[in-house]
Amino acid sequence: MKTLNNILVAALSFVITSTASLAQVDRSQAPEAGPAPTIELGESTTKQLANGMQLIVVENHRLPKVSWTLSLENRPIFEGRKVGMLDLVGELMRSGTTLKSKAELDEAVDFIGASLSANYKGMRGSSLTKHTDELLSLMAEVLLSPSFPENELERLRTQALSGLLASESSPSDISESLTRSLNFKNNHPYGEITTAETLGSLTREDFENYHSTYFHPNKAYLVVVGDIDAETAFEKANAYFGKWTRADIPFNRWDSPVRLRATRVCLAPIEGSVQTSIKLTHIINMPPGHKDAIAASVMNSILGGGGFSGRLMQNLREDKAYTYGARSSFSKDPLVGSFTAYADVRKEVTDSAIVEFIYEIKRITTEMVDSNELAVTKNYMSGSFARSLELPNTAANFALNIKRYDLADDYYTSYLKNLSKITPEDVLAVAKKYLRPNQINIACVGNPSITESLKKFSPSGKVELYDTYGRPLIEKSPAAAGVTAKSVVTAHYEAIGGVKSFSKLQSLQQSGSVAMPGGMSLQFSQTNSYKKNKRGLRRSLSMSGHDILVNIATDSEGFVDEMGEITETLGTELQHIQWTELDPIYMLNASEKGITTELQGVEEINSVKYHVINFSQDNVIKMTCYFDIEKQTLSMTKSIKDGPEGPTLTTIEYNKYIEYEKGMSFPIEIVTTVGPQTIITRLSYVTINPKVDSSIFNLD
């Protein structure tokens, strides 16, 4: 059987020849192109099962392993009010069948040392050759008879909701949502954004309906790579998937989003951010295999899609030192793709960085690239192509792409020859044709203080504001007549047991568990003393009865003991703890600490209306509180705290208030998100006014 060796050798020869030529030619002149090598791909065999599923087999007998990848080639679907379902389909399929629970499935896969995963577009399994039948039996079971267990749906929903909360403070996640919203709009499959509301609407029936509608073999490819011959692979595929039945699958048509008529400038503000995530982006219409595809890839590589030699990298990083990295992407898609130039920069140079982005995008659409720059780029791309051939899956992926995108049979074998033909004129032509520097979305995620500096880039002089989910930011509406910050805070304390009861608290003990990032679970306990001259906080996290982290704070000092390593709590962090933890009605007594309280108005988040109150004290205290108008209780706080890498947004969500002692209620679930990390605290016990030995607030 043919191997990939001949294509790899040919590609490397092309690279070496090109490099040697560069050292000998007059660089002021375009180098003469040498003859492009003839490429022969590793052999793939294609067969079709009676039910319509197509099988692609690439033999590779170097290791006794076989991988099976099932790919459903359905058109994108619009989820509407069920956005987020597609992200969970595969995991829910993998969470149980009519014959096995998730635990039993996991055990069966682990027993044979295999891997098995699924997603909304198919599934993948890999194992040693000798366990092929056991693996295929499990794959067929997950594919044909998933049970979509209700308890697993709730578990996945909870995980997804925690992830959403973390994404609200992640500039990269916010930027992704913003650019999708701007490029594709919310009425296109590529523009839909998952929210807590859409996740909350998901039912088991939604997943059953999706599976019964879209999981059928007549739109499926099964790619097999590894230690197996084509005939054996066909027999096994037929044995395990041959009974999978055909059905009509909806063909969804989507109009291409409307192109911009002029540049738009949009900002998703993040209080306290010291960086700006910048993306200049617009849609493009170029399906895979398009006649301009290779020239467009060369153009994008020169601009910013390649290595450190890209113009954006050289300009914004090497010359201006605005960023660690600046790049661009030119994504081809059967439906609609996008061009994006992006970087994370210091907030102080946001406008200067945008100027350089626009300069480089315009330059590549108006000036011919020089022959040396073109040669270096084609050499880089040839090397990347050659390296990809070292992977056994490459030939299979090429064969699959030829089928799914209806490419010419020689599309990949002719790639290096077609790449070598690209000229400076071709690069300029595709840049002019596809890049629109004067009709582009300038999407920024960063500090609100940059708003004024962004206006110069907008033809209308307007900066559009968006929230963390890529939705237009709606101005807060005024609170009802007579509602004040004090009345809102008072209503909160009354709703959870009464201002009088909380103001008389002497002490409080709480205990429970904490779910840490990575799946680690710890025990949690906290003691608060509110007695005058004896006020203190002790919070500990422990494992197997041993404290691994202890926080202590009093009116005069604070410490953290991390497994014997003691550090002092200082500055903003200590003052924030002293205010919120040493006074049971701290929000009512904010003025005594010199903290200003201001009612911002009413804000609606995921169909829930909140009174929004800001607490601030110079640059020391800055916290925004959200009070559920219907329930009257505090639901969420957002605060800016100093960290080792600058200010960090901390979000705390208070869920499910439960009454404990003396009519007093406390949230049994507290979700804390600091940057990308989420910690979930669940209370088990609350004790009102226990006896507290003040010595516990000492570390010795």
Q: Can you give the CATH number for the domain in which 300 is found?
A: 3.30.830.10
pLDDT score recorded for residue 389? 78
Q: Are residues 411 and 517 in the same domain?
A: no
pLDDT score recorded for residue 256? 80
State in Å, rounded, how far the first CA of the chain is from the last one.
74
Q: What is the mean pLDDT of residues 216-220?
A: 93
Instruction: Please count the structural domains in the chain.
Output: 3
Those residues with Cβ within 8 angstroms of residue 348's Cβ, 6 or more apart along the chain or in another chain = none
Q: Are residues 310 and 193 in the same domain?
A: no
Pairwise CA distance, residues 357 & 279, whole Å: 9
CB 575 within 8 A of CB 590: no
Backbone angles phi, psi at 416, to 5 degrees: -65, -35
Question: Nearest-CA neighbor of 600 among 506, 416, 515, 477?
Answer: 477
Residue 4 has pLDDT above 80, yes or no: no
Take residue 526 and report the two structure tokens written for it. Answer: 């906290």
- Beta-strand pair 665-674/677-688: antiparallel
Residue 403 has pLDDT above 60, yes or no: yes
Q: Are residues 10 and 153 in the same domain?
A: no
* Domain termination residue (choose one: 465, 499, 517): 465
Question: What would the pLDDT profile of 340-370 be if each residue is shown by its tens digit?
Answer: 999 999 999 999 999 999 999 999 999 999 9
pLDDT band at 10 (very low <50, low <70, confident <90, very high): very low
Question: Nearest-CA neighbor of 44 among 222, 251, 297?
Answer: 222
pLDDT score recorded for residue 18? 40
Rg (alpha carbons) of the chain, rounded to whole number: 30
Tell me how far CA of residue 626 lies from CA of 61, 491, 602, 603, 637, in angstroms: 61, 13, 9, 9, 6
pLDDT band at 27 (very low <50, low <70, confident <90, very high): very low
Q: What is the mean pLDDT of residues 592-596?
A: 90
pLDDT score recorded for residue 570? 87
Residue 614 has pLDDT above 70, yes or no: yes
pLDDT band at 24 (very low <50, low <70, confident <90, very high): very low
As a residue count, the chain comes to: 700
Q: Are residues 541 and 608 in the same domain?
A: yes
Higher pLDDT: 119 or 41? It is 119
Question: Nearest-CA neighbor of 32 among 371, 370, 418?
Answer: 371
Residue 545 has pLDDT above 80, yes or no: yes
Q: Are residues 312 and 451 in the same domain?
A: yes
Question: What would the pLDDT profile of 372-388 be if each residue is shown by its tens digit?
Answer: 999 999 988 988 888 88
CB 274 within 8 A of CB 447: yes
Question: Nearest-CA neighbor of 105 among 154, 55, 142?
Answer: 142
pLDDT band at 700 (very low <50, low <70, confident <90, very high): low
Pairwise CA distance, residues 282 & 279, whole Å: 10
Question: In the chain, how many H helices and how many E strands?
Answer: 20, 25
Take residue 602 and report the two structure tokens written for it. Answer: 């009413």
CATH number of the domain bearing residue 610: 2.50.20.10
- Beta-strand pair 546-554/536-543: antiparallel
Q: Are residues 318 and 448 in the same domain?
A: yes
CB 292 within 8 A of CB 330: no
Task: Report the share of the chain in percent with pLDDT over 70.
Answer: 92
Question: What would the pLDDT profile of 262-308 be if each residue is shown by its tens digit?
Answer: 999 999 998 888 899 999 999 999 999 999 999 999 999 999 987 78
Within 61-219, residue ranges assigned H as helices are 85-93, 102-111, 132-144, 150-167, 171-184, 196-200, 204-214
| 471 part of a folded domain | no
Residue 226: CB atoms within 10 A of its CB come to 25
Backbone angles phi, psi at 146, to 5 degrees: -70, 145
pLDDT score recorded for residue 16? 35
Q: Are residues 549 and 596 in the same domain?
A: yes
pLDDT band at 409 (very low <50, low <70, confident <90, very high): confident
Pairwise CA distance, residues 219 & 403, whole Å: 12
Pairwise CA distance, residues 684 & 411, whole Å: 63
Pairwise CA distance, residues 600 & 389, whole Å: 59
CB 666 within 8 A of CB 657: yes
Question: Nearest-CA neighbor of 682 among 672, 669, 695, 671?
Answer: 669
Question: What would the pLDDT profile of 617-626 be if each residue is shown by its tens digit?
Answer: 876 678 899 9
pLDDT band at 336 (very low <50, low <70, confident <90, very high): very high
Check the CA dihedral 608-610-616-620 and report its sign.
negative
Q: Are residues 517 and 384 in the same domain?
A: no
Q: Are residues 51 and 36 in the same domain?
A: no
pLDDT score recorded for residue 14? 39
Higher pLDDT: 618 or 665? It is 665
Check the CA dihedral 484-486-488-490 and report its sign.
negative
- Beta-strand pair 275-284/441-446: antiparallel
| 14 part of a folded domain | yes
Q: Are residues 200 and 267 in the same domain?
A: no
CB 683 within 8 A of CB 666: yes
Burial class (CB in 10 A: 0-12, 13-18, 19+), 150: exposed
Question: What would the pLDDT profile of 62-82 be if each residue is shown by its tens digit?
Answer: 899 999 999 998 888 889 889
* Domain termination residue (choose one: 432, 465, 498): 465
Helix (H) or strand (E) holding 304, with range, is none
Maximum separation of any 2 CA atoms in the chain, in Å: 89
pLDDT band at 116 (very low <50, low <70, confident <90, very high): very high
Residue 259: CB atoms within 10 A of its CB come to 11
Backbone angles phi, psi at 296, to 5 degrees: -65, -40
pLDDT score recorded for residue 20? 41
- In the 8-state DSSP scheme, what is residue 219? G
pLDDT band at 554 (very low <50, low <70, confident <90, very high): very high
Take residue 51 and report the two structure tokens written for it. Answer: 């039910």
Report the 3 state secondary structure along 659-680.
Answer: ECCCCCEEEEEEEEEECCEEEE
User: Where in the sequence is the domain holding 411, given as residue range(s)?
Assistant: 5-40+256-465
Question: What would the pLDDT profile of 508-544 be if each residue is shown by its tens digit?
Answer: 999 999 988 767 889 999 999 999 888 999 999 999 8
Question: Nearest-CA neighbor of 290 among 328, 326, 336, 254?
Answer: 336
Residue 647 has pLDDT above 90, yes or no: no
Question: Nearest-CA neighbor of 648 among 166, 348, 171, 272?
Answer: 272
| 222 part of a folded domain | yes
- Give one DSSP letter per residue of 521-532, joined into a string: EEEEEEEEE-ST
Tell me how far CA of residue 217 lies from CA of 55, 214, 253, in angstroms: 11, 9, 21
Q: Are residues 421 and 508 in the same domain?
A: no
Q: Are residues 232 and 273 in the same domain?
A: no
Those residues with Cβ within 8 angstroms of residue 677's Cβ, 6 or more apart along the chain or in another chain = 166, 517
pLDDT score recorded for residue 70? 95
pLDDT band at 327 (very low <50, low <70, confident <90, very high): very high
| 472 part of a folded domain | no
Pairwise CA distance, residues 414 & 5, whole Å: 16
What mean pLDDT is reported for the chain?
A: 88
Q: Which residues pair with 685 in a beta bridge?
A: 511
CB 681 within 8 A of CB 524: yes
Helix (H) or strand (E) holding 631, with range, is none
| 32 part of a folded domain | yes
- Beta-strand pair 122-128/558-562: unpaired
Sheet hosting strand 220-226, strand order edge to edge: 45-48, 54-59, 220-226, 65-72, 122-128, 115-119
Side chain identity at residue 324, one-letter code? Y
Chain centroid, CA 531 distance in Å: 46
Question: What would the pLDDT profile of 454-512 be if each residue is shown by its tens digit?
Answer: 999 999 999 999 999 998 887 788 999 999 999 999 999 999 999 999 999 999 999 99
* Domain termination residue (choose one: 465, 496, 530): 465
Question: Nearest-CA neighbor of 467 among 677, 257, 271, 670?
Answer: 271
| 397 part of a folded domain | yes
Lowest mean pLDDT among 88-97, 104-113, 225-234, 559-568: 559-568
pLDDT band at 645 (very low <50, low <70, confident <90, very high): low
